A and B are shown apart, each in its own frame.
Chain A
Amino acid sequence: MSEPFCTRSQNQGGTRSNGYKSPLEKILADLRRKYVAAAGPQVGGLGSQGAGSTDAFLVEYSLLPWNTATGSYPAGLGAEIGGSTNNLGDEDYAELRKTAQMARSSSMIFRGRRMSTAYGASSTDWLGGGGSSGNLSPRSSMKRSQPSPVNGSEKQVPPQNNAIASSFLDQRVAFMECATRYRSGLASTSHADNLIACAPHLRHISPASTDMQGNGGSSRNSFTAFLLKQTRSGEVTAEMGGSRVAAISDYKSCLARKHANRRLALELATFVRVLANEMSLEEFTIVEGDLFSSILTFMHSNDDNKRLAGVAALDALIGATSADEEKKITKFVKNLSDSLFKASNVDYEFLSEVTNALGKMALGAANVDYVESVVKRVPEWLKRDRSDRR
């Protein structure tokens, strides 16, 4: 009886697959199989008004066509333009990609980290404004007013559909600028994102990564490649080519994993919301308990893939409905903090995902105690000497 839904999800996997099979797929498929009635009409309805705006944006983002040639999404991490990527159909994306490539080939002025008078514009705006799709964040509207070479493309549009076309075009301009700048490693306001866009291999912490030569950086980023080639000491030799290719393919698979996990986690969260409305409270408590325990098993496993999938699922479920909200929050905070400071063999990706989730938890109303406890402990963590970490 579950065939229609299985085939549906397989089809979806076929169209949006980026070559990585997330461990969450099994959990989601099991849930759908068990609760077919709830799974029915909502399977395709992701990112609708019911979901929180964060989720809606992320789902939209995960719908971006995966470019297998370059191994990336066309817009990189389009976080800066916030809600402006909503409401774009497939054909729009195709057009966007075409124009973005055009813009990339022409020489562009990069405008990266810049003065921003709006605090946290990129994060708070679209988190707070539930479902306000199409609102440009102050950051991008500021950018829009800047004269930019891309603005020339506005002339191609016939003047009759001014209102809609121009708003869409503004979004498109912002989108393209973001795409180009992200690819050059200049886009993000976060130093970490910028570094990883240019030298992805540095996220693996090893004695070798302290070398600041930056070999193994992304060669498709011609700007960076040009800079990196310019070594004075001539340390870049032929054998570095191999490691560079390896680093890039590693980075590609890491991105693919991240987005597959995120997409499935959001589907899972949407499905949990649906289940919460479909069932009685007692039933839902049991289902939720099972789900949480399987996710927490993932989080505490030693397998990297499972661990990242678990964190992604936890992250997505923060906003979902729960039978016992208080208990859920306590449980999540405890598990996230534990995995942050007690887990062995962690890496940067895992830590940044976990802290992202913790940051999301801190958005809640009952965050003051948690923030206080962390703030008191941080100096200890920073000063901590070797070997007294558990």
Chain B
Amino acid sequence: MLQFHVLLISLVADQMLMIFARLAAVLTVKELAQNAPAAFYSKTNQSEIGQEGGTSEFIAQIFPVLTDPQPIVRVCAADALAECLKVIVDPSRKHHSTTRTLCKVYSFIMKVFNDGDKGRRGQRNVEKAEVEAKQHAALLVIGDLLDLPLDFMLPRFDEVCRATLGLRNHSKALIRLEVVRLIVSSFVDASFSCVTNFDIPIC
């Protein structure tokens, strides 16, 4: 029994350490991308030989952290992703199309929303929590994408809008909070108000 307890404690401690390592890593990435964008861009691109590789590979590393069970780790990962995307799409150093990278990010979002419908019918709590973490992450990433100074989201706006508003009655407060934040900050934006007629009832 004692052994079991010790094992359990060390397991929990290890998990905590892993969480902190992830948190520290994403926080560092965020700060570097923010404060030394040129160095960050060149260093993340060194490994690539083809037209796109380095930086988007680097971004792919952040995705697993985005769905971390801890909300604070998720939001920090979303911040890091936002900073990385800003570095990549910076028009002043744009040598190749960034659409492919952005599409990867976008497909992550849509996959979550499509899986979410299945997950709602699932009964197991662990799976449910995972799906909810993914949904939260997807909402955070939508905010990141909408913040980019590109027209990338313009054709996809209606789809994202519907998917987001579909979560407005979610049982978890954090997800509802994120939906409201998206509506008031990003959706109701001058650049998008011309293309959207809110035919979806909000309440």
A: residues with CB less than 8 A from B are 109-117, 119-120, 123, 185-186, 189-192, 194-196, 198-199, 202-203, 205, 207, 209-210, 212-215, 217, 224, 227-228, 230-233, 340-341, 346, 348, 351-352, 354-356, 358-360, 362-363, 367-368, 371-372, 374-376, 378-379, 381-387, 389
Given contacts A195-B75, A359-B35, A371-B36, contact A119 B28 (CB under 8 A): no
Does residue B175 face the partner (Cβ distance < 8 Å to A)?
yes
Q: Which residues of A contact B184 (CB under 8 A)?
A: 109-112, 186
Cβ contact within 8 Å between B176 and A360: no
Cβ contact within 8 Å between B64 and A382: yes
Secondary structure of the B contact surface, majority rule:
helix
Q: Give, as a whole number of angstroms, the nearest-CB distance from A83 to chain B.
A: 18
Cβ contact within 8 Å between B31 and A362: yes
B: residues with CB less than 8 A from A are 11-12, 14-32, 34-37, 39-40, 43-44, 58, 61-62, 64-65, 69-73, 75-76, 78-79, 82, 86, 90, 129, 132-133, 136, 140, 143, 146-149, 169, 171-177, 180-181, 184-186, 189, 191
Cβ contact within 8 Å between B147 and A191: no
Residue of A nearest to B172 (CB): A212
Cβ contact within 8 Å between B35 and A362: yes
Q: Which residues of B contact A354 (CB under 8 A)?
A: 24
Given contacts A116-B147, A389-B17, contact A192 B44 (CB under 8 A): no
Q: Give, as a whole number of angstroms, the nearest-CB distance from B67 to chain A.
A: 12
Residue of B nearest to A181 (CB): B185
Count A-B contacts at CB 8 Å.
203
Q: Give, as a whole number of angstroms, the nearest-CB distance from A304 to chain B.
A: 15
Cβ contact within 8 Å between B72 and A348: yes
Given contacts A119-B86, A227-B176, contact A371 B32 (CB under 8 A): yes
Given contacts A119-B86, A185-B181, A202-B71, contact A362 B32 (CB under 8 A): yes
Cβ contact within 8 Å between B62 and A381: no
Question: Bound state CA distance, A381 and B16, in angstroms?
Answer: 14
Determine which of B72, B86, B149 lies in contact with A192 in the assembled complex, contact meaning CB atoms within 8 Å: B72
Cβ contact within 8 Å between B21 and A389: yes
Q: Which residues of B contact A214 (CB under 8 A)?
A: 172-174, 177
Residue of B nearest to A228 (CB): B173
Most B C-beta atoms less than 10 A away, residue of A199, A354, A371, A379? A371
Question: Bound state CA distance, A230 and B139, in angstroms?
Answer: 20
Cβ contact within 8 Å between A113 and B72: no
Cβ contact within 8 Å between B24 and A340: yes
